[in-house]
Amino acid sequence: MTDVPEGRAVRVSWRVALAARWPAVLRTGWPVLARLAGWSLLEAGQTFLLGYALARALDGGFLAGDTRAGLLWLGAAGLAVVAGAYGTGRVYGAVAALVEPVRDRLVRGVVARGIREGDAGALSGLTQQVELARDALAGVVLVSRSFLFTSVGALIGLCSLDPLLLAVVVPPLLAGTALFAVTLRPLARRQEAFLAADEALAEDLGTVCPGLRDVTAAGAEARVAEATGKLIGAERRAAYALARWGVTRVAALAVGGQLPVVLLLVTAPWLLGHGVTPGALVGALAYVTQSLLPALQNLVHGLGTSGSRLTVILRRLTAQAQAQAQAQASVERRPSGRHAEDTAGRPPRPARLPALSLTAVTFSYGPASTPVLDGFHLDLPAGGHLAVVGPSGIGKSTLAALVAGLLRPDRGSVRVFGRPVEQAAGARVLVPQEAYVHSGTLAENLALYREGPVPEAELLAAAEAVGLTPLLRTLGGPGAPVDPAALSAGERQLIALTRAYLSPAPLALLDEATCHLDPAAEARAERAFANRPGGTLVVVAHRISSARRADRILVMDGARTACGGHEELLRACALYRELVGGWSDPALAPGYADGVDAIAGAGLAGDRGHVVADRAVGQMQTAGDLGDGGSSGRE
C-alpha cells in the first residue's frame, strides 16, 4: 500500500468526508431547489414582459395610434411586476429551507469537534464562523439565482424583439461576467489575508491593552509599540491589496452592464436601418438598464463579498479540522519520559545549556551616553540562584530588562536556554518593582501567564509556597473579586509573585519585586522560587539577605564587577564588604542580621510606609534604577 504523507492524508480524509455528504445534501435539497426554481420563473416572466410589453406598447400601440393597445400592454407589464414581487417573497422561504440544513450540519460538526477534541475555538466557530457561513451562503444563492433567471428572461426578450439586438448586448455582458469570474479566487485570498491580519492585530491588542501598566512599569513602551505597529502595517497592506482587486469588480460591472447601454445608443441608427423598430430599441434599453445591469450589480457586489467570505470561512473551518486532527495525532505519538512536559505544563528544558548567557554585552541609553554595560559576560547554569547587588543607578534593573528582552543590547548577545532572548519569551518571566494587578477574580489574576484555568489545588499550593495564603483568605478565596486600588503595594507584589510562580517559564527575574515586603515574607517568596522544580532565579536584591540566600552573587560597580559566593566576595570584593557593612547595624537587637528596622514587623505590617534596610548613615534605599548611570564591565 502506498504511503501517504500525514498532512495530505488529513486533507484527503476531510475532502472524502465532504464528498460523501454531498449526495445526501442533494437528495434532501432537490424538492427545495425545484420550489426555488419555480418561484424564480415568476421573476423571469416579469423580466421578459418588462421589455417586451414596453416594445409592443410603443410599436403596436402609441406609435401606431392605438392608445388602448398601448395601455393594455403596459397593464400587462404592471401585472407581471406584481406577480414577480409575490414570487420574490416566496423565494426567501425556499432559500431559508435550503440554507438552514447546511447551517445545522456545520453546527453539528463544530460542536462534535469541540466535544470530541476539546477544541477551545469551538465557541467562536459556532457563534461567528458558522453564522457568517450561513449568511454568506444565503447571499450567494440569492444573487446567483437572481442573475441567472433575470439574464435568461432578458435574453429571451431581446431575441423575441429582434435577434440583432443580441449581437450588441451579449458580447460585453459575457466579457464583464468572465472578468468578474477571474477575480473571485484572488479576491478570496486577499480577503482571507486581510481577515488573518485583522485577527492577529486583535489578538495582540487583547494581550497588550490589559497589561499596559506592566508595559509602562517595565519600560517596554517602544518595543511593544514597534511590534504592534508591524501588525498594523500588515493589516494596512492587506487592506490595500484587497482594495486593488476591488477595482477589477468595478471594471467588470462597467464592461458587462454599462457598456451595452452605450453600444445600443451608438449603434441605434444602424439598428434602425436594419429593421429594428423604435419600440424594440426602447425595450432593449429597458432590458439592459432595468434588468441586466441591476442583476449584474447584485452579482458583482453580492458574490464578490459573500462568495469570497464563504470561501474563506469554509477554508478556515477545514483548516481547523485539519489542525485538530494533526494535534490529536501528535498527542498520540508524543513520547513519554523525562523529556515530556511535566504536570505543571512547563516545557522540557535543553540539557547542559546555561539558563542565562550574556556574551560581550554593551548597552547605553543613547549614542552619547556612557555605557551602562560594557563588554559584559555572565553565565548562569540551569537551576541556579543569582542575586544582583550594587549601588543604586549602577545598572541592575537595566540588566534585568536586557534578560527579559525589554531592552536590546547595542552589541553582544543575550541567550536564554540557548535561544536568543527575542525567541525565548515563554522561557522567562519578569516581576518588576511596580506589580500589576487587574480587575477580576484572584484566580484570573494568578492564571494570567497560563493558557487555561489553573487547578485550584495547584493554585492553593503556590499561594502557600509564596506566602499569599493569608491574603487569599482575607479576600475570600480564589474566586473572590479583586479591586486593585484597595490593595497595598505589598499585597500587589504577593499576587504578582504567585502569578510568576505559576507561570510555565523556567527562568524567573525578580527586579526588586519584594521591596514592599518585610524580610520574613521576602525570604519565603525567594525560597519558593529557588525551590521551584527545574526553576532558575535571578534576584535584583533589595536587601543583603537576598544575596546571602543566593548560590552566586553578582556585584555591579562599573569595571570592578565581581561574581562569586558570599564568603568569597567578602574576602575579595571591597564594594561587597562595604555593602554588607552598610546593611548591618550593631545597634539593632541580635537576630536582625539584615540590618532592618524592627518596626517593619512580620507579614505586611511595614508595607504602608515600609522601612528598608538602613545604610551607614540611615538613608532610604532609592526605588528603581531604569535610568541607570555608570557602567559595568567584565565579570
Nearest to 436 by CA among 426, 451, 452, 449: 449
Q: Say whether both 215 and 296 belong to one domain.
A: yes
Q: Which residue among 324, 345, 371 closes a domain?
A: 324
302 & 374 share domain: no
Bridge partners (DSSP) listed for residue 482: 440
Tens digits of per-residue pLDDT, 250-308? 888 889 889 999 999 999 999 999 899 999 999 899 889 988 888 888 888 776 666 55
Instruction: Pick the closest to residue 556 from 433, 388, 400, 403 (CA basis).
Output: 388
3-state secondary structure of 522: helix
pLDDT at 189: 80
pLDDT digits (tens, 9 = 90+) for 155-199: 888 998 999 999 999 999 999 888 888 887 787 788 778 877 887
Query: Does pLDDT of 595 surpass 90?
Result: no
| CA–CA gap between residue 529 and residue 502 (Å, rounded) | 10
Residue 370 phi/psi, 5-degree rounding, is -70, 135
Q: Which residue has the higher pLDDT, 313 or 125?
A: 313
Same domain, 371 and 465: yes
Q: Is 390 among the domain residues?
A: yes
Residue 363 C-alpha cell reads as: 548597552
Cβ neighbours for 132, distance < 8 A, ≥ 6 positions apart: 309, 313
More confident residue, 337 or 222: 222
Range of the domain at 115: 18-324
Of the ranges 63-67, 344-348, 366-370, 601-605, which one carries the lowest mean pLDDT score? 601-605
Per-residue confidence (pLDDT) for residue 603, from 0 to 100:
38
Asked, for residue 617, whether it belongs to a domain, the answer is no
Q: What pLDDT score was predicted for residue 608?
A: 33
d(CA 134, CA 128): 10
Q: What is the reported pLDDT for 195? A: 75
Question: Residue 36's pLDDT band (boundaries 50, 70, 90)?
Answer: confident
pLDDT of residue 559: 62
Assess contact for 378 and 553: CB atoms under 8 A: no
Measured distance between the N- and C-terminal CA atoms of the chain, rounded to whole angstroms:
62
Does residue 284 sit in the same domain as residue 358? no
Is 143's pLDDT higher than 60?
Answer: yes
Q: Mean pLDDT, the chain, as a whole number?
A: 75
Amino acid at 114: G
Residues 6+ apart with CB under 8 A from 79: none
- Structural domain contains residue 527: yes
> Quick check: 138 pLDDT over 80?
no
CB 446 within 8 A of CB 399: no
Cα–Cα distance between 404 and 224 in angstroms, integer?
13
- Chain segment 368-387, per-residue pLDDT in tens: 778 888 888 999 999 999 99
Type of residue numbered 522: E
The pLDDT-based confidence of 243 (bands split at 50, 70, 90) is confident
Determine if residue 376 is left, alpha or beta; phi over 0 gives left, psi from -120 to 50 gives alpha, anything else beta: beta
Residue 352 confidence (pLDDT): 63
Measure the CA–CA gap between 629 and 625, rounded to whole angstroms.
9
High-pLDDT (> 70) share of the chain, % = 72
pLDDT, position 335: 42
The stretch 129-136 carries a mean pLDDT of 66
Compute CA distances 200 → 40, 180, 205, 221, 586, whole Å: 43, 30, 9, 19, 59
pLDDT at 616: 32
Secondary structure of 437-467 as H, E, C letters: CCCEEHHHHHCCCCCCCCCHHHHHHHHHHHC
Give the pLDDT score at 61.
Answer: 86
Ordered alpha helix ranges (H), 118-163: 122-124, 130-161
Confidence band, pLDDT 50/70/90 cuts, at residue 86 = confident
- Residues whose CB is less than 8 angstroms from the CB of residue 123 and which lie 6 or more positions away in sequence, other chains included: 114
More confident residue, 39 or 57: 57
- Please identify, among 563, 582, 601, the residue that sits at the C-terminal boundary of a domain: 582
Q: What is the pLDDT of residues 88-123, one digit of tens each?
A: 777 777 777 777 776 677 666 666 655 444 444 444
Quote the pLDDT of residue 322.
54
For the residues 631-635, what does the mean pLDDT come to?
A: 45
pLDDT of residue 321: 53
Whether 307 and 361 share a structural domain: no
What is the average pLDDT across 310-331?
54
User: 3-state DSSP call for residue 510?
Assistant: strand
- pLDDT tens digits for range 352-365: 688 999 999 998 88
Contact 202, 325 (CB under 8 A): no
Q: What cell does 258 get?
A: 454599462
pLDDT at residue 506, as a whole number: 92
Cell triple for 341: 512536559
**How are beta strands 440-441 and 481-482 bridged, if at all?**
antiparallel
**Class of residue 499 by CB neighbours under 10 A (exposed 0-12, middle 13-18, buried 19+):** buried
- Average pLDDT, stretch 451-466? 90
Q: 380 and 270, same structural domain?
A: no
Q: Is residue 557 part of a domain?
A: yes
For residue 516, is pLDDT > 70?
yes
pLDDT at residue 319 in the model? 57
Name the band, by pLDDT with cuts 50, 70 and 90, for residue 309: low
The count of structural domains within the chain is 2
- Which residue's entry shows cell 444573487? 143
In this structure, the answer to whether residues 69 and 185 fall within a common structural domain is yes
Is residue 335 classed as helix, strand or coil in its secondary structure? Answer: coil
Report pLDDT for 75. 87
pLDDT at 526: 92
Task: Confirm whether 594 is domain-assigned.
Answer: no
248 and 156 housed in the same domain: yes
CATH assignment of the domain containing 369: 3.40.50.300
Residues 189, 125 share a domain:
yes
Domain end among 324, 341, 369 = 324
Give the mean pLDDT of 126-153: 73
Query: For residues 396-435, b (16+ Cβ closer than 10 Å) or e, as one string?
Result: bbbbbbbbbbbbebeebebbbbeeebeebeebbbbbbbbb
Q: What letters, b where the CB count within 10 A reaches 16 and e where it falls short, cover 443-477? A: bbbbbbebeeebeeebbbebbebbbbbebbeebee
The yes-or-no verdict on residue 207 having pLDDT over 60 is yes
Q: Is the pLDDT of residue 631 over 60?
A: no
Ranges 63-67, 170-174, 229-233, 548-552: which has the least confidence = 63-67
Query: Quick one: average pLDDT of 491-502?
Result: 93
Mapping DSSP onto H, E and C, the string for 579-628 reads HHHHHCCCCCCCCCCCCCCHHHCCCCCCCCCCCCCCCCCCCCCCCCCCCC
Beta bridge partners of 379: 357
Let me know: does 339 contact 348? Beta carbons within 8 Å: yes
Using DSSP's 3-state secondary structure scheme, residue 13 falls into: helix
Task: Map residue 289 onto helix, strand or coil.
Answer: helix
In a domain, 624, yes or no: no
Separation between Cα atoms, residue 412 and residue 634, nearest integer Å: 12
Do residues 87 and 45 share a domain?
A: yes
Residue with more model confidence, 319 or 169: 169
Does 622 fall in a domain?
Answer: no
Question: How long is the chain?
Answer: 635
Q: Please report which confidence band the pLDDT of residue 343 belongs to, taking 50, 70 and 90 as the band edges.
A: very low
Report the CATH number that the domain containing residue 319 is assigned in CATH. 1.20.1560.10
Whether residues 193 and 272 share a domain: the answer is yes
Least confident of 230-239, 305-314, 551-560, 573-582: 305-314
Task: Give the C-alpha separation, 226 to 208, whole Å.
Answer: 12
Give yes or no: residues 116 and 158 share one domain. Answer: yes
Q: 366 in helix, strand or coil?
A: coil
Decide which of 60 and 313 is more confident.
60
How wide is the angle at C-alpha 485 spanned by C-alphas 481 and 486, nearest 5°? 65
**Residue at 484 is within a domain:** yes
